[in-house]
Chains A and B, each alone.
Chain A
């Protein structure tokens, strides 16, 4: 697999670097692969690089779909 985990941008550093945080753990990563970022954005981090930005709207949508998937059998039975 490619071990990667979402972390939040805390500080933009020079030279395409940034400090990101994950529940109190802070790490310096390269943002060269994702372009413009703002403090507060979430990025997926893999081997010290940000791979992609997390789309907050789509994340909400996924959670709604998950809730729906969890609720479906009740509807089916009703």
Chain B
């Protein structure tokens, strides 16, 4: 696979790891957050943790749209799917996400709800065209990357005069979440953590560009390296962050120049802007309510808004109080520190957002990394 395999070369990775080890200052501790689940995936899938020196720590951020979707929104979607007139079209990722009391779309489907898995919003449009007798609702989730296809679906539905199509919009915005994490110490809402730099998302940035991150340098003296998803991209970006720290610089840098420009995809931005507007506030599972962090349909497209069409009532539901996701997402704790981890909370029965999809910090640790726990525990004891 061109533009993929070149960035998965193990030998090169070990050489870059050697450079990182050589340049990492042994008297310092480095803590970087990979915001995006894609980077978490690359790190766990390729075992990159084993290639980094002990004083370079990666904190797994909240960048997985499935994980940050509040339980209440899942409950609302399940309620909607139970409406006998509704066909709910959804990306397969959402099928297993548990709502309250162990409910999920896959179980609602088993109980008779008409739920279809689609791979693209165009498939949802097709279902609406084929079944004029059904109210087809697309369960829209995702960051800036996944929003333009939803906007496209709304425009298409309008152009084709589809009156039986709407979307249940849960699109959220990356920069607002980064801000929430950075403002945590100031607002006192979350315990402070010292993050020295971020790996910026790959495909979100392909849409929004690198400019929206500039403010984090100006306001918070942060470092951001927009990074590709392949493991070598991640290694190189970590090296770039580390060099910024060593040289005392704070800047937005772009490692993923082959797909990301400073301006991003203007056409996609314009499309999103035409269809969607900012919500005042939106709940992020694990992070709480974040102002201006999500989108909803503009008034002009109100008829395509499932929340309005079906007069959906918000459902509020909360996670198990013992869940540590909030503190894990900001790097203050690690998955194994949670007493629910691996006992009642596993990927089959997630208790909190970080366990929901394999990109969540807890699920990634459970699925790929937990074999390290024992070594870590004995090393800890030996040291103390």
Contacts and interface: CB of A to CB of B under 8 A. Distances in A.
Q: Do A and B come from one complex?
A: yes
Contact of B2 (A30, A42, A61, A71): A42
Nearest to B232: A66
Interface in B226-245: 228-229, 232-233, 235-236, 239
A39 B172 CA distance: 34
Interface residues of A, number: 40
B173 to A, nearest CB: 13
Contact of A72 (B19, B63, B121, B257): B19
A56 to B, nearest CB: 8
Contacts of B3: 6, 42, 54, 59
Interface string A1-37: 1111110100000000000001100000010111100
B145 A52 contact: no
Contacts of B228: 62
Interface string A31-74: 01111000000101011110111111011011101110111110
A22 B58 CA distance: 31
Interface of B: 1-4, 6-7, 12, 15-16, 18-19, 22-23, 36-41, 63-65, 91, 119-123, 142-143, 145-146, 148-149, 152, 201-204, 206-207, 228-229, 232-233, 235-236, 239, 255-260, 265, 267-268, 271, 359
Contacts of B122: 30, 48
A76 B16 contact: no
Nearest to A23: B1
B177 to A, nearest CB: 14
B258 A47 contact: no
A51 B256 CA distance: 14
Contacts of B16: 66, 69-70
Across the A-B interface, the 4 shortest Cβ-Cβ residue pairs: A1-B38, A48-B120, A70-B15, A1-B37
B120 A69 contact: no
B148 A33 contact: yes
B149 A59 contact: no
Nearest to A51: B206
Contacts of B7: 66
B1 A22 contact: yes
Contacts of B23: 72
Candidate in A4, A33, A70 with the most chain B CB atoms within 10 angstroms: A70
B119 A48 contact: yes
B257 A47 contact: no
24 contacts: A2-B145, A2-B201, A6-B1, A6-B4, A8-B2, A30-B122, A33-B265, A46-B149, A47-B119, A47-B120, A48-B120, A48-B123, A48-B149, A49-B148, A51-B207, A51-B259, A51-B265, A52-B207, A55-B257, A58-B257, A62-B228, A62-B257, A69-B236, A70-B18
